[in-house]
Amino acid sequence: MRIKIKKPSDLTDNDVTDESIYKNRRQVLRSLGYVGASALLAPHAKAFNWFSDDDEPAFKRRPLTYQSDKNDPQTITPEDKATSYNNFYEFGTDKSDPVENAQSFNVNPWTLKVDGLVNKPFSIDFDNLFTRFPLQERIYRLRCVEAWSMVIPWIGFPLAQLIKQADPQGSAKYVAFQTLRDPKQMPGQRNRFVGGGIDYPYVEGLRLDEAMHDLTLLTVGLYGKSLPPQNGAPVRLVVPWKYGFKSIKSIVRISLVEQQPPTTWNTLAPHEYGFYANVNPTVDHPRWSQASERRITTGGLLARNRIATQMFNGYEEVASLYAGMDLRRLY
């Protein structure tokens, strides 16, 4: 059986400002018959999961106002893929677990604390997350350490703006991030087996100059609306030149510190996951190659989507941050 798949790039339109366009794009695909006929046979992958219950109501996302990212020619990953295929071990280790287990996650009220070596520590509450700084859209490539990638329109503000408000002290060299710890709401934190044996809360860190780089985005939304829980609601980090696990989700605390802070995956398996975790096609993961990746967009199984991985995920402008460093050793 041969099914002709249109190259995803043929369907690109650059103006990705609101959800209706994503919906439209799927409609286009449907009407072209790529998706249509098969829907009868397999309405949803869940058809294979005998134990799933479908009655959990979907999490409510709010529409956002933001400055859109107009001039990006990349093919965007469909929204339903970006929001149903997630690594978020707090809600289970399978990629379909977060979307299934997180829909009743309560994010309001929320407090994000900014503290540590700063002159003006402060907290941001839920509503403030969306209003304190002007929101902008950034279409970024997300490269997972597992050698797949997506292109996602995030909405947020540069982390630098937030750090500047806190007025860092001279001794601050690193920024430490912490995810919510709430075993009542997060099954992976209740049970070691559900959460993959990770010591929670999940923690991450950046060097201060990395955190202050304009590409580093504190993110509150995607695809025109606030984040769903599986993608890290209500606020997460996005560092597009590093492997995805650096982009910590559901953040409750950002602290400026003097020493390099511990980070979750590095602590768990130091020879597999480094502190820096810059996307680097020349340094393989011990168990698989990082030289290329599969870009997940549309097209299903037959899409030829293996592409070469770029140094710093193609964000060359960060190279100067690492001048003189041996990135093979400091992976």
Partner 1 sequence: MVWIRLTNRRVIALKSLIHIIAGLWLVQTFYAAISDQLAGDPVEILLHFTGIGALNLLLLSLSLTPLAKWQRQGSWIALRRLTGLWSFTYALCHFLVFILFELQLEWQLVASEIIQRPYITVGFSALLILTALAITSISVLRRRMGRSWQKLHNTVYIAVLLIMLHFTWSLKTLELQILIYAIITGTLLWFRRNKLAGFLIKK
Q: Which residues bind partner 1 (CB under 8 A)?
A: 1, 3, 29, 34-35, 37-39, 41-45, 48, 80-81, 84-85, 89, 93, 95-96, 99, 148, 192-194, 196-198, 268-269, 287-289, 291-292, 294, 296, 298-302, 304-306
If you write DSSP's letter for every residue of 19-87 in order, what string do you get?
Answer: HHHHHHHHHHHHHTTSSHHHHHH-S-GGGG-TT----SPPPP--B---B------SPPPPHHHHTTS--
Q: How far is the CB of 196 from partner 1 (least distance, A)?
A: 3
Which candidate, 228, 276, 275, places its Cα nearest to that of 79? 228
* Min separation Cβ 138 and partner 1, Å: 23
Q: What is the DSSP string of 252-293?
A: EEEEEESSPPP-HHHHH-TTTS-SS-B--TTS-BTTB--SEE
Q: Which is nearer to partner 1, 184 or 304 (CB)?
A: 304
CB nearer to partner 1: give 134 or 197: 197
The CB-of-8 to partner 1 minimum distance in angstroms stands at: 11
Distance, in Å, from the CA atom of 19 to the CA atom of 229, rounded to the nearest integer, reads: 18
* Cα separation, 16 vs 20, whole angstroms: 9
Least Å distance between CB 304 and partner 1? 6
Q: How far apart are the C-alpha atoms of 91 and 188, rounded to whole Å?
A: 5
Residue closer to partner 1, measured from CB, 36 or 63: 36
Closer by beta carbon to partner 1, 89 or else 130: 89
Shortest distance, position 282 Cβ to partner 1, whole Å: 14
* Cβ-based nearer residue to partner 1, 38 or 65: 38
